[in-house]
Amino acid sequence: MVTEAFAPAKINLTLHVTAQRPDGYHMLDSLVVFADVGDRLGFTPGPDMALDVTGPFAAGVPADDRNLVWRAARSAGWTGHIALEKNLPHGAGIGGGSSDAAAVLRHLGCADLETAESLGADVPVCLSAVPKRMQGIGEILTPLPGLPELDIVLVNPGGHVATPDVFDALSEKVNDQMDGLESWITRNGFVRWLASQRNDLQAPAVALVPQIADVLDALSGAELARMSGSGATCFGVYPDRMQAMAAAARIAQSNPGWWSVAARTISARPQAVS
Active site residue 10: yes
Beta 132-136 vs 234-238: how paired, if at all? Answer: unpaired
Say what the pLDDT of residue 270 is. 29
Beta 140-143 vs 234-238: how paired, if at all? Answer: unpaired
- Show the low-confidence residues of the chain (pLDDT under 70): 268-274
Q: Give residue 174's Cα distance to chain centre.
A: 23
Number of CB atoms found within 10 A of residue 254's CB: 10
38: annotated binding-site residue? Answer: no
CATH topology of domain 151-264: Alpha-Beta Plaits (3.30.70)
pLDDT digits (tens, 9 = 90+) for 221-243: 999 999 999 999 999 999 999 99
Q: Which architecture characterizes domain 3-143 according to CATH?
A: 2-Layer Sandwich (3.30)
Query: Is there a contact between 118 and 75 (Cβ–Cβ < 8 Å)?
Result: yes
pLDDT digits (tens, 9 = 90+) for 77-104: 999 999 999 999 988 999 999 999 999 9
16: annotated binding-site residue? Answer: no
What global pTM score does this model have? 0.94
Say what the pLDDT of residue 261 is. 99
Say what the pLDDT of residue 249 is. 99
Catalytic residue (choose from 10, 29, 100, 151): 10
What are the boundaries of each domain within the chain? 3-143, 151-264
Catalytic residue (choose from 100, 122, 151, 200): 122
82: annotated binding-site residue? Answer: no
Active site residue 132: no
